[in-house]
Structure 1
Amino acid sequence: MSAKTTYLALLRGINVGGKNKVPMAGLKKLLEEMGLEDVKTYIQSGNVIFRSALAARTIGRKIEEALTSTFKLDDELIKVLVLSRDTLKAVVDKRPKGFGDEPGKYHSDAIFLIGIDRDEAFAVFKPRDGVDNVWPGEGVIYSQRLSAERTKSRLGKIVASPLYKSMTIRSWQTTQKLMQLMDEGE
């Protein structure tokens, strides 16, 4: 029997704006029926921590297929990114200096990339001087916008890009909480 790895699945396109509703209890049950162990969900936006002996890519494909065949969802919006604890730890540890340190002043987000090239994804960001800052990371784009000027932010413009379907956004607070939950599960 191979060793089990703790993973985080980031589900893109569920429970957003009242669309693609997936109840967390139903999601947890579905993943347990798939053979994933110690399944825990965190908030409604599609964050699941679990253990499995399978490879991350294999699990991601299986979850996508199971989601779209079990729940009434717009398949075009659904993508699943599965990260190991070490991968998420690298995202947290390699953040830009000071990123996320002033939550009262800045809205900070980790924009996780799902099967797309970082440089190609980074090119769609057009930060507004004095409002937005973006930094490329490994499998992630770090985005920070001045809270007092967030209505002037250009972050929302990435939605118009076809590459947006290969990104999933988590607030920095959520990203850090997910790291904490993964550490507790180890």
Structure 2
Amino acid sequence: MRLSTADTAAIFDSHETCFIASSPTFLPLRKCMTTWIALFRGINVGGKNKLPMAALRSTLESIGCQTVRTYIQSGNVVFTCESTSKAKLAQRIARVVDESFGFVPQVMLLTPDEFRAAVTNNPFPDAAAFPKTLHFFFLSGTPDDPDLASIADLATETERFELIGDVFYLHTPDGFGTSKLAKGVERKLGVATTARNHSTIEKIASLLDSE
């Protein structure tokens, strides 16, 4: 079936390039960009793994990322990129940072839907009034056998936690820095994590909404 010149449809080639389908030829329209949230772990801590955000933005732009926006030095980035492969893109980012700064960072990538689902699923909305006491631990994968009983043993009487999908939520009203649960949760879950407090989560959400 041939399309008339009035009929158009968006299709994608193997390079994720958008085209307008218009009989009898296909005309290039634009590159199709995917939005990503990158959460870096363990950078700019105690003078180690230094990665200035301005330099990080330039580095990501050098591999084709666009509209790169960052928030604070812990490494929270919102950007667009042609790549739709989370694993390949994370490896590429880690490699280019290693080439430029001499260390391989741990990078967790989230889609906007994944990030917004984490916000929506927050089981402790009342704790948002004290945003630095509420942390979202983003997991590198779904735990096979999380030791929730041992995690509960680490919690104080005032601490609350819940594991929902690939996000571990922790409310520490008496302080995050002194929490034994905060320090031990990754080992008990058996997967790598990176944590962000609710204040940072809100800022990342604002970056997404500003697209």
Q: TM-score, normalised by structure 2?
A: 0.75
Q: What CA deviation, in whole Å up to 9, does each residue of 1:60-114 have, x standing for no partner?
A: 11111111222122x4xx211111111100000111042533307x700000111
Matched, 1:168 2:194: yes
Change (3 A) 1:21 1:163: farther
Matched, 1:144 2:171: yes
Worse-superposed segment, 31-40 or 16-25: 16-25
Structure 1 partner of 2:101: 71
Among candidates 103, 108, 118, match of residue 130 of structure 2: 103
Shift of 1:53: 2.0
Residues in 1 aligned to 2:50 and 2:145: alpha-carbon distance in whole angstroms: 32
Residues in 2 aligned to 1:93 and 1:29: alpha-carbon distance in whole angstroms: 32
Matched, 1:155 2:206: no
Change (3 A) 1:177 1:121: farther
Matched, 1:181 2:210: no
Shift of 1:129: 3.5
Shift of 1:158: 3.5
Worse-superposed segment, 126-135 or 45-54: 126-135
Please say if residues 14 and 20 of structure 1, whose CA atoms lie closer than 8 Å, have aligned partners that are also in contact. Answer: yes
- Give secondary structure in 2 for the equivalent of 1:10: strand
Matched, 1:19 2:45: no
Structure 1 partner of 2:138: 112
Please say if residues 65 and 80 of structure 2, whose CA atoms lie closer than 8 Å, have aligned partners that are also in contact. Answer: yes
Flag the structure with more relative contact order, 1 or 2, with Cα contacts below 8 A and sequence separation at least 6: 1
Structure 2 partner of 1:40: 69
Look at both structures and tell me which one has the larger radius of gyration over its CA atoms: 2
Could you say which structure has the higher helix fraction? Answer: 1
Please say if residues 7 and 52 of structure 1, whose CA atoms lie closer than 8 Å, have aligned partners that are also in contact. Answer: yes
- Give secondary structure in 2 for the equivalent of 1:26: helix
Q: TM-score, normalised by structure 1?
A: 0.84
Shift of 1:147: 2.7
Residues in 2 aligned to 1:100 and 1:120: alpha-carbon distance in whole angstroms: 24
Matched, 1:62 2:88: no
Unaligned runs of 5+ in 1: none
Shift of 1:119: 4.9
